[in-house]
Amino acid sequence: MKKLLLLGDEAIAQAALDAGLSGMYAYPGTPSTEIMEFIQSSKDASDRNVHRQWSSNEKTAMEAALGMCYAGKRAMVAMKHVGLNVAADSFINSAITGVNGGLIIVSADDPSMHSSQNEQDSRFYGRFAFVPCFEPSNQQEAYNMVFDAFEVSEKYKLPVLLRITTRLAHSRASINQKATIPEKILSLPDDPMQFVLLPAIARKKFKVLLSLYESLRYENRISKYNNFKDGRKRELGIITCGIAYNYLLENLGESLNDFPVLKISAYPFPKDLIKDITGRCKEILILEEGAPVIEEAIRGILDEGIKVFGRLDGTVPRDGELNPAIVAKAIGLPVSYGQDVPSLVKMRPPSFCNGCGHIDMFNSLIEAVKPYGQGHVFSDIGCYTLAALPPYSAINSCVDMGASVTMAIGASDAGLFPSIAVIGDSTFTHSGMTGLLDAVVKNSLVTIIISDNSTTGMTGGQKSQATGRLEQICEGIGVSREHIKVIVPLRKNHTENVGILKEEFEYKGVSVIIASRECIQTAAKRKRSENSNE
């Protein structure tokens, strides 16, 4: 079999292709983006015509994947952890409908928030929905788990969650490739009512789901990823989840064998495993990359059982990503250290690219809003969020995709005037359009600025669903034609653009200003590929 050097994300994508994937669905989001990108650049996927187009958001991606597996084929949907909030309605309900072809939901968590608004742990969602959840500790395991996850999904007719974290997603390792499985053929569910969640049907199906969850504990394709290994020491036993195992091994090396260790990489797991380790040891250390999910369960509300060390008692920091030093400290080993960073080294935060169109848009906005004072600009998530930092300090919010539009509506309802939203084109088609409809229906006094750079810039320049459609969308939603203004954010247009902004702020109704200029990175990439095609 071939050996490949792949990112964790790419290993998952390669495994899905090798396991007979027919459809990949996703909306970009760090650290999950490279799963779809790998499939889009795969020759195999293009020869087989595997579905590999971006979706408008995680919910539409999740539902389309569910549709593909309704038709009997294997589908995968990938998103960053907060994307699962957006897809949560369909995700939770898909556990009750169940699946026909295999379905894997990849949720990429970002502990330490390298590029996210929070560090929620997707394992909670697995338990919440009562679906199996795999948590690979390394890239090869991630590759292998995809095969098992599809099998489990089809055997139990359940969607399966694959939870990864940034470190695994964005770290490269060599992978042994397995023999490939052909794609499934089109076949409808045996029960034509399987996907019809009328209350009477859902009640029955939920009972089935609950009992199924218990039997999953003893499913071999899940339990083989959970291993208890005894060791001679009796003072301390160690439980690791997912990638935490690597840091333990890094620190202990051969002497890992001295400790009883329970390595958990798939859920739900048999209670016996916990008994095995708690029965032998006086004290337990729990290492989890993410929230203290297992730790809370073992402690229970009373926390009067076995002595437990972990994130809840401060042995491990309560938040943030693990690393070798944190784990060394937790097991009482000395922490090595090089030299301090010399004090002359300065912070180098990310910043707008030189010549970015968002800069010119914000320069005009800052001038136009000045007479009204601080606090009028709601914004959203994307490259343009960098305007929160000096020298711009131009925006007052960044909460979740689409919230700029709706928060501007609410603030205007409260009497704030003017109430302004700044949103990117991809974020607008992800979750801004429905908010705009609310504004139109009640004629809110809001000005929505769509900073349209014809791409999803923040995540590396993926195709934006909005490109070329924004004016029609806004008009279709019901914004009056006279108040849809298209401007080109360039320095030479500054005075004119300030004038247009000021005028629309004063308009007593919904106006949309589309500030349109291609992202310079995307433009450069486009020119490179045009040249190489010539």
Partner 1 sequence: MMKNDIILSGVGGQGILSIAATIGLAAIANDLFLKQSEVHGMSQRGGDVQSHLRLSDKPVSSDLIPYGKADLIISVEPMESLRYLPWLSGNGWLVTNSNPFINIPDYPPLDEILKEIKKIKNHIIIDADEIAKQSGSARSGNMVILGAASPFIEMPYESLENAVIKLFGRKGDQIIEANLKALKAGREYSK
**Part of the chain binding ligand TPP (CB under 6 A), chosen from 94-102, 128-136, 265-273, 456-464:** 456-464
Residue 374 interacting with partner 1 (CB under 8 A): no
CB neighbourhood size of 337 (10 A): 7
Return the beta strands (E) in 347-392 as ranges: 377-378
Bridge partners of 386?
none
Residue in the structure block whose two tokens are 């994130």: 311
Give the shortest CB-402-to-ligand TPP separation in angstroms: 9
**Under rule CB under 6 A, residue 489 binds ligand TPP:** no
Per DSSP, the three-state class of 248 is: helix
- Binding status of residue 497 toward partner 1 by CB under 8 A: no
Candidates 40, 138, 459, 511: give the one binding ligand TPP (CB under 6 A): 459
Least separation, in Å, of the C-beta of 143 and ligand TPP? 25
Pick from 459, 462, 497, 511: which binds partner 1 (CB under 8 A)? 459
Angle at 133 between CA 129 and CA 138, to 5 degrees: 155
Q: Does 353 bind partner 1 (CB under 8 A)?
A: yes
Whether omega for the bond prior to residue 324 falls within 30 degrees of 0, making it cis, is: no
Does position 458 interact with partner 1 (CB under 8 A)? The reply is yes
What is the token pair recorded at 209?
């789901």
87, 142, 193, 218 from 154: Cα distances, Å: 21, 19, 18, 16
- Region of 21-29, 102-110, 222-230, 477-485 interacting with ligand TPP (CB under 6 A): 21-29
Non-local (6+) Cβ contacts of 253 within 8 A are none
The distance in angstroms from the start CA to the end CA of the chain is 37
Helix axes 357-369, 494-506, angle to 10 degrees: 50
Contact map string, positions 379 to 408, toward ligand TPP, x by CB under 6 A: --xxxx----------------x-------
- Per CB under 8 A, does 172 bind partner 1? yes
* Tokens of residue 370, six digits: 């000045």
In the shown chain, the binding pattern of residues 65 to 94 toward ligand TPP, with x for contact by CB under 6 A and - for none, equals ---------------x-xx--x--------
117 interacts with partner 1 by CB under 8 A: no
Instruction: Tell me the three-class secondary structure of 388-420, residue by residue.
Output: HCCCCCCCCCCCCCCHHHHHHHHHHHCCCCCEE
Binding mask 37-56 for partner 1 (x = CB under 8 A): --------------------
Binding partner of residue 520 among ligand TPP, ligand SF4, partner 1, none, CB cut-off 5 to 8 Å per kind? ligand SF4
Q: Which does 168 bind (CB under 5 to 8 A by kind): ligand TPP, partner 1, ligand SF4, none?
A: partner 1
Which residues neighbour 449 within 8 Å (Cβ) at sequence distance 6 or greater?
Answer: 361, 365, 420, 421, 422, 423, 501, 512, 513, 515
Strands (E), 94-136: 103-109, 133-134
> In what side-by-side order are the strands of the sheet with 133-134?
21-26, 74-80, 103-109, 160-165, 133-134, 266-267
**Which amino acid is residue 117, in one-letter code?**
Q
Summarize as ranges the residues that interact with ligand SF4 (CB under 6 A).
352-353, 356, 358, 383, 453, 457, 519-521
Report the residue from 90, 138, 251, 426 that binds ligand TPP according to the rule CB under 6 A: 426
Question: Could you give the string, one character per residue 111-130, with x where binding to ligand TPP holds by CB under 6 A and - elsewhere?
Answer: --------------------
- The yes or no reply on residue 332 touching partner 1 (CB under 8 A) is no
427: partner contacted, choices partner 1, ligand SF4, ligand TPP, none (Cβ within 5-8 A by kind): ligand TPP
Binding to ligand TPP in span 32-71, by CB under 6 A: 58
Is position 357 an interface residue for ligand TPP (rule: CB under 6 A)?
A: no
Q: Give the Cβ contact number of residue 486 at 10 Å.
A: 14
Distances (CA, A) of 45 to 15, 25, 56, 69: 12, 13, 21, 18
CB of 350 to ligand SF4, least distance (A): 9
The helix (H) or strand (E) run that includes residue 9 is: helix 8-18
238 three-state secondary structure:
strand
Please state the closest distance from residue 51 (CB atom) to partner 1, in A. 24
**114 touches partner 1 by CB under 8 A:** yes
**Total residues contacting ligand TPP (rule CB under 6 A)?**
24
Contact call for residues 65 and 26 (beta carbons, < 8 A): no
Tell me how far, at minimum, the Cβ of 453 lies from partner 1, in Å. Answer: 13
In this structure, is the dihedral angle defined by the CA atoms of residues 293, 294, 295 and 301, taken in order, positive or negative? positive
Residue 145 near which of ligand SF4, ligand TPP, partner 1, none (CB within 5-8 Å, type-dependent): none
Segment contacting partner 1 by CB under 8 A, of 178-186, 345-353, 472-480, 482-490: 345-353
Q: Which of 22, 464, 465, 511 lies at the binding interface for ligand TPP (CB under 6 A)?
A: 464
Does residue 378 touch ligand TPP according to CB under 6 A?
A: no
Nearer to ligand TPP, 78 or 287 (CB): 78
Task: State the Cα–Cα distance between residues 390 and 14, nearest whole angstrom.
Answer: 42
Question: Between residues 291 and 386, which has the closer beta carbon with respect to partner 1?
Answer: 386
SS3 5: strand
Residue from the set 97, 100, 144, 246 that interacts with partner 1 by CB under 8 A:
246
| Closest to 181 measured CA to CA, from 324, 19, 350 | 19
78 touches 51 (CB < 8 A): no
Binding site for ligand TPP (CB under 6 A): 27-29, 58, 80, 82-83, 86, 381-384, 401, 424-427, 453, 455-459, 464
Binding site for partner 1 (CB under 8 A): 3, 5, 7, 30-31, 33-34, 114-115, 167-168, 170-174, 243, 245-247, 249-251, 323-325, 328, 335-342, 344-353, 383, 386, 458-460
